[in-house]
């Protein structure tokens, strides 16, 4: 529990800082030549990740999300899911992915114990999809979503709402997701990378809801247990409560007061908040021969220092210097 009485039950782990896509809101092209990816030796091993998950589980963490970069390009990712799932106390293992390799990996990941995937899907237009992702293939990602649903995974789609890019597709993205058996989600654009990731006028959570309601009818607040939930707040169609939509409204409808998350980078830096750069190296404690008690002390320092909230501002200021690609969102 942090100093604001927020109980941490959810750990996001970046398993690699590398990605096979170049999404504009995650790693804009003007930063690509400036990024230095970490050498293999600097990245946490599976054994180190599993040990840290075990320690976090002993402190009350119940949900683990594997992120990147792109987690599915980490060699042995299916085995890592299995190892994390086998840790006592962990009740949910989920993943955020671009979906490029999901068609072939969905069934093995599910068999290893993965419960759910969030798949990035910002547009249904193939050319626009390729432009946003730099390298992506829309048909391949859609096939991955279908494979994940067929494998029994709970699937959510993630779209960063961007003016001039997908602002005319918000309702259509809902229609497509619901038809496939997935839950659509929309994310307000955040000023990461010192504001370099803030190129477009903000589409607010209210504007997102308005666009959906204009086509699908009135939305009402969806209920449900938020004990281990992420930052999305869910709405449902008044005419059909089975059709839900999630909105991550970091910019205009803050959710910091009930934040339950910590983030661990691929190199073992523990970040208490997405919106700030300060971090505590757990890798250094492990590789210096530290005991579990030493790791717990380092975690305690990070959690105790967790701030009340982020400083994101609508003019693109107030964000961290760190890049979204290295922290997994």
pLDDT above 70 as % of the chain: 88
CATH class of the structural domain 10-326:
alpha beta
Mean pLDDT of the chain: 90
How many whole angstroms separate alpha carbon 270 and alpha carbon 281?
Answer: 6
End-to-end Cα spacing for the chain = 22
Mean pLDDT score, 157-177: 95
3-state SS assignment for residue 95: strand
- pLDDT bracket for residue 98 (50, 70, 90): very high
Burial class of residue 124 in the structure, from the number of CB atoms within 10 Å of its CB (0-12 exposed, 13-18 middle, 19+ buried): middle
Of the candidates 267, 10, 1, 248, which has an alpha carbon nearest to the alpha carbon of residue 116? 10
Q: Which helix (H) or strand (E) holds 86?
A: none
What are the domain boundaries of the chain?
10-326
Lowest mean pLDDT among 152-161, 233-242, 300-309: 300-309
Q: Is the pTM of this model over 0.75?
A: yes
Mean pLDDT score, 198-209: 82
Burial class of residue 157 in the structure, from the number of CB atoms within 10 Å of its CB (0-12 exposed, 13-18 middle, 19+ buried): buried
Structure tokens at 191: 């000023």
Output the pLDDT for position 28.
61
202: pLDDT strictly greater than 80: no
What is the DSSP annotation of 231-261? S-EEEEETTEEEEEEEEE-TTTS--GGG--E
Q: Which helix (H) or strand (E) holds 63?
A: strand 63-67
- pLDDT bracket for residue 316 (50, 70, 90): low
Q: Which residues 6+ apart lie within 8 Å of 36 measured at CB?
A: none
């Amino acid at each position: 529990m942090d100093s604001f009485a927020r109980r941490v039950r959810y750990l996001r782990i970046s398993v690699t800082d590398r990605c096979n896509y170049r999404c504009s809101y995650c790693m804009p092209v003007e930063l690509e030549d400036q990024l230095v990816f970490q050498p293999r030796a600097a990245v946490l091993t599976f054994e180190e990740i599993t040990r840290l998950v075990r320690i976090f589980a002993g402190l009350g963490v119940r949900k683990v999300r594997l992120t990147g970069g792109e987690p599915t390009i980490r060699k042995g990712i299916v085995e890592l899911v299995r190892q994390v799932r086998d840790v006592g106390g962990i009740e949910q293992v989920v993943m955020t992915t671009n979906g490029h390799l999901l068609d072939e990996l969905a069934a093995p990941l599910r068999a290893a114990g993965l419960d759910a995937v969030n798949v990035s899907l910002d547009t249904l237009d193939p050319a626009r999809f390729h432009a946003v992702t730099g390298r992506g293939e829309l048909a391949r990602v859609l096939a991955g979503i279908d494979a994940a649903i067929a494998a029994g995974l709970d699937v959510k789609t993630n779209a960063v709402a961007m003016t001039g890019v997908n602002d005319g597709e918000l309702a259509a993205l809902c229609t497509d997701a619901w038809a496939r058996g997935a839950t659509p989600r929309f994310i307000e654009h955040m000023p990461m990378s010192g504001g370099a990731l803030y190129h477009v006028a903000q589409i607010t959570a209210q504007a997102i809801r308005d666009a959906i309601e204009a086509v699908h009818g009135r939305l009402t607040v969806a209920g449900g247990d938020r004990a281990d939930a992420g930052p999305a707040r869910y709405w449902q169609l008044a005419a059909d409560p089975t059709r839900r939509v999630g909105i991550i409204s970091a910019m205009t409808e803050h959710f910091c007061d009930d934040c339950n998350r910590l983030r661990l980078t691929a190199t073992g830096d523990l970040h208490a908040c997405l919106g700030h750069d300060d971090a505590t190296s757990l890798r250094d404690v492990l590789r210096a021969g530290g005991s579990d008690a030493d790791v717990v002390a380092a975690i305690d320092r990070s959690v105790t220092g967790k701030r009340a909230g982020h400083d994101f501002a609508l003019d693109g200021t107030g964000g961290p210097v760190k890049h979204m690609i290295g922290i997994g969102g």
